[in-house]
Amino acid sequence: MIELHNIDCMEAMKEMPDKAFDLAIVDPPYAVGASDGTFGRGGAKSRIKEYRADLKHYANHDLTPGREYFLELFRVSKNQIIWGANYYPEYLYHSGWIIWDKVKSDGWLSEAELAFQSLDKRVKIFKHEWEGFRRAAGSFEQTLARTIHPNQKPVRLYEWCLNNYAKPGDNILDTHLGSGSIAIACNRLGYDLVAYEVDAEYFEKTKKRLEEHQKQGQLFDVHI
């Protein structure tokens, strides 16, 4: 079962019992100046701002999680995969890592993303070409029509995480649903998911995206 909730994850986690979830796979916001287009280069800055004028997840630094978020996350989940973990070293202990190699070196954005994983001490690498709001294939306008969130991750990344770190029957938590790629991955692989998204606009778009995927079933190889 896939459960999506349009509420603040902090409010939700405070009501959860200890170790309520087998695995949390989360991608919390880490404000890095995206609201003014600084994560682009040259003319792309103005085009990026067109993606969504306010870019709330980035512009509002109050949404960047602190110590309380990580304490609650570790309390309510047995294991965790945390994307952007290199931005939160003060809250994490020594464990394993995931490297998402984006197979590119064009100087636009980071060539890889890092995730903390608590399940073992190993480092694993997933290779998949991707650049969120500016995918390698297609124009900027085509990309806007196919993506929801400026930090959208591919479904295949979440499928890889589930195949490598989850066990059959695990229930999954996502505190920052964003574009909902994890919801599609869980639906395709048969995992139960409870996910939270505080932004109403993203939530409605993501809910619609999941509903359309569920109607299509496995007829199409959805990976964006």
**pTM (two decimals):** 0.81
> Which two structure tokens, joined as six digits, stand for 63?
């949404």
pLDDT given at position 146: 57
User: Which residues does 108 contact at the CB level (< 8 Å), separation at least 6?
Assistant: 40, 41, 44, 131, 134
Task: Spell out the SS3 assignment of 18-57.
Answer: CCCEEEEEECCCCCCCHHHCCCCCCCHHHHHHHHCCCCHH
pLDDT given at position 177: 95
Q: Which fold has domain 2-32+64-216?
A: Rossmann fold (3.40.50)
CA dihedral 222, 158, 8, 82 (to 10 degrees): -160
What number of residues does the chain have?
224
Burial of 178: CB neighbours in 10 Å, binned 0-12, 13-18, 19+: buried
pLDDT given at position 15: 96
pLDDT given at position 108: 64
| Cross-strand bridge partners of residue 173 | 24, 194
CB–CB of 69/28 below 8 Å? yes
> Which two structure tokens, joined as six digits, stand for 140?
């900027």
Would you kindly state where each structural domain of the chain is located, as residue ranges? 2-32+64-216
From first to last of the 224 residues of the chain, give the pLDDT tens digit. Answer: 999 999 999 999 999 999 999 999 999 997 554 444 444 444 444 444 444 444 444 444 457 889 999 999 999 999 999 999 999 999 998 899 999 999 876 666 788 999 999 999 999 999 998 755 444 444 444 444 456 667 789 999 999 999 999 999 999 999 999 989 999 999 999 999 999 999 999 999 999 999 999 888 654 444 45
pLDDT given at position 181: 94
User: Which residues does 193 contact at the CB level (< 8 Å), separation at least 6?
Assistant: 1, 2, 3, 171, 172, 173, 174, 182, 183, 186, 187
